[in-house]
Chain A
Amino acid sequence: MVQEGGTAEGLSLPRLALSTKTAGRWGDQLFRLLIRASALALLLIVSGMVVVMVRAAFPSIKAFGWWFLFTSTWDPVAKHFGALPLIFGTIVSSLLALVIAVPLGIGAAVFLSEMAPSWISPAVSFLIELLAAVPSVVYGLWGIFVLAPWLRTQVQPALGSALGFLPLFQGPPYGVGMLAAGLILAIMVVPFIIAVSREVLLAVPDSQREAALALGATRWETTRLAVLRYARSGLIGAILLGLGRALGETMAVTMVIGNRAEISASLFAPGYTMASLIANEFAEATSDLYLSALIEVGLLLFVVTVIVNALARLLVWSVGGAVKEVRE
C-alpha cells in the first residue's frame, strides 16, 4: 500500500479501480467542465461587481464628474455631493493607524521571529491570530464604552492643555472623533501586520542569517543587515496590507468617528470615512442621485483598496520564492 505521510489510511485503490467501468473519459470531461465553471464563477462575481456598481454610480458620475473627488460638501437637501471629506477622513484615520501600528507591529514581529527564545514565538503568534479574528463590531463596542470615554475625560484634555497650540489638538474633547478612529484602527490592524511581517521574515532563507552570524555579527546586526534588508519589500507589502485592511474597516470606525462629513485640522474633531458613510446612509438615501452618489463612493473605495492590495501582494510575494498563501 502507498504510505505517504500517514494519509493513505483506508484508501483501497484496487477497489476503486475495479469500479470504473463506464465512468472513464466521459466523467473526466464533465468533471473538468464543472471545475472550470466553478472557477469562472469567481470571474463572474468580480466582473459583475464592477459592472453593477459602475452602472449604478453612473448618474452621479455624469452629474458631478471629476469634481466629485474635490468638492467638500455632502448636502443631500441641495443634492450636492462631494467626496473630499470622506476621502480625507479615510486617509487620515488610516494613516494615523499606520503611524502607530507599523513601528509597534514590525518591532513585535522582529522580536518574535528573530530575537525571542524559540518557545515564545508559536504561543504568541497563536494569540495574535486569535486577536486578528475578533470582529469589528466587538472592537467598536469596546471603543464606545471604554476608549471614547477615556479619551474624553483623560487623554484629550491632557493633550489639549499640553499641546493645544498645535492645530492638531484643538477643539472640544468629544471623545469620539478622528483620534478615536485612528486608535481603534491601529489596534485592529496591528495583529495583522505582525502576522504577515512574521511570515515574511520567516521566509528569509536561513543561509542569509547563518552567513552574517558566521562573520561575527550580533543578533541585531544579523537582523538588520541580513534579514530586514532582504525582506524589505515584503515588509512594505505587509504595511500595505495593513493599510488595505484599515481603509475598508467599517463598523468599529462608524461607532467612534462622530459621523460628520467635514475636513478639520484637529484630531479631536469628528470625521467620516467612505465606509462608515455608506453604512449609515445607504438604506436611507431618499433620492436616486443620493443613492448613486453613495455607490460612487463605494466604487471609489473598491478601486483604492484593490490597488493597495494588489501592490501589497506583489511585494509580499517577492520575498521568498514560493507562492505563500497569506491567510486573512
Chain B
Amino acid sequence: MKAGIRRGVNAVMACLTALAALLVILPLILILAFLVYQGASAVNLDFFTQLPKPVGEPGGGMANAIVGTLTLIGLASCLGLPLGILGGIYLAESRDRCLPWMIRFLADVLNGVPSIVIGIFAYTIVVLPMRRFSALAGGFALAVIMLPIVLRTTEELVRLVPASLREAALALGIPEWKVILRVVLPTARAGIITGVMVSVARIAGETAPLLFTAFGNRFWHQGLLQPIAALPLQIFAYAIAPYDDWHRQAWAGALVLIMMIFLSSLVARIVTRGRYSGLR
C-alpha cells in the first residue's frame, strides 16, 4: 500500500476516534452542566433545614433526607467496613488453598448483582422477620453492596505492602496479627481509604434497594429501627409527581447528591495521589 494512503487512513481513524470521544464526552458534560444549573437555581437555605411540607403546599426542604442518607452510609459502613477490611486481609495474607479463590470469585459475583435484587434479599431477611421497615434494613442492603468493593480494594492494597517491611517486623518477634494490624494496614491505609470512599460514593446514590427496606419518612427518623428518609428516595418520589415545586426540589436534591458523591471520589483521588506514588 502506498505510504500516502496509509497516512491518510491513519488521519481518518484518528479523527473518527476523536469524534467518538467527543460524541461521548460532550453530551455527558452538557447533562452535568444542566443538572448543576437546575439544581443551583433550586437550592435555598430551606432545603437544608426544613422538613417536607404536606402534599401540594409549596416550600419545605429535604433536611431529613440528607441526614437520612448520611445515617444510612454510616450504618452500612459499620456493617460493611469491618467485614470487608478483615476479609480483604484474609484474601491477601492467607495461605489456604481454594477458599480465597472462591471468595474472590463470589465477591465479583456480588459486585455485579443488580441492587434491586439485593433489596429483595434485605426485605426477606430483615424487614419481614422484624415486621417493620427500618434504617437497619436499608443499611444492611447498602452494606451488602459495599462489601465486595472494600474487600477487593483492601486485598489489593495489602498485597502491595512490600514484603521486606513485613519480614523486618516478624524478624523482631512481633506476632503476625500485630504485624498486620499495626504495620501492614497503616501502610496501606491510603488505598483502603480510597476503597472506602469509592464504595461510599456508590451507595450514596442507590435508590432501588431502599424502596422496600428503608421505606422513606416525611419526618426525622426515630432511631434505627424505624423507616428513614433518604435523598435518592425523595428525589424519585418528587420526580414522578405532578407538583412543580416538588420538581424544583428534586433538582436541588440531585445537585446535593452529586456534590456528596463527587466529594468522596475527589477525596479518594487526592489521598491516592499524594501518599501513593511509592507503592504504585
B112: min CB distance to chain A, Å: 3
Asked if B67 CB lies within 8 Å of chain A CBs, one says: no
Is residue B162 within 8 Å, beta carbon to beta carbon, of the partner chain?
A: yes
* Pick from B35, B144, B212: contact of A282, CB under 8 Å: B212
Give every chain B residue within 8 A of A126 (Cβ-Cβ): 269
Whether the Cβ atoms of A5 and B116 lie closer than 8 Å is: no
Q: How many whole Å from B273's CB to the nearest CB in chain A?
A: 11
**Cβ–Cβ contact B107 & A7, under 8 A:** no
Residue in B109, B115, B277 whose CB lies within 8 Å of A306: B109
Kindly state the separation between the CA atoms of A278 and B121 in the bound complex, as whole angstroms.
Answer: 13
A218 partner, pick from B10, B24, B212, beta carbons under 8 A: B10
Question: Is A76 part of the contact surface with B, judged by Cβ < 8 Å?
Answer: no
A131 contacts B by Cβ under 8 Å? yes
Interface of B is mostly: helix
Q: By the criterion CB–CB under 8 Å, are A129 and B25 in contact?
A: no
The answer to the question of A145 belonging to the interface, with a C-beta cut-off of 8 Å to chain B, is: yes
- Which B residues, 138 to 153, have Cβ-Cβ distances below 8 Å to chain A? 144, 147-149, 151-153
Nearest-Cβ distance from residue A102 to partner chain B, whole angstroms:
10
A58 CB → nearest B CB, Å: 13
Complex Cα distance A11/B189, Å? Answer: 14
Size class of the contact patch on chain A:
35 or more
Enumerate chain B interface residues (CB-CB to A < 8 A): 6-7, 9-10, 13-14, 16-21, 23-25, 27-29, 31-32, 34-35, 82-84, 86-87, 89-91, 93-94, 96, 99-100, 102-103, 105-121, 123-125, 144, 147-149, 151-153, 156, 162, 164-165, 168-169, 172-178, 180-183, 186-187, 198, 201-202, 204-208, 211-212, 232, 235-236, 239-240, 247, 250-251, 254, 257-258, 261-262, 265, 269, 275, 277-279
Measuring CB to CB, which residues of chain A are less than 8 angstroms from any residue of chain B? 2, 4-8, 11, 13-14, 16-17, 20, 23-25, 27-28, 30-32, 34-36, 38-43, 45-46, 48-49, 52-53, 56, 103-108, 110-112, 114-116, 124, 126-131, 133-142, 144-146, 187, 190-191, 194, 218-221, 223, 241, 244, 247-251, 255, 275, 278-279, 282-283, 295, 298, 301-302, 305-306, 308-310, 313, 325, 327-328
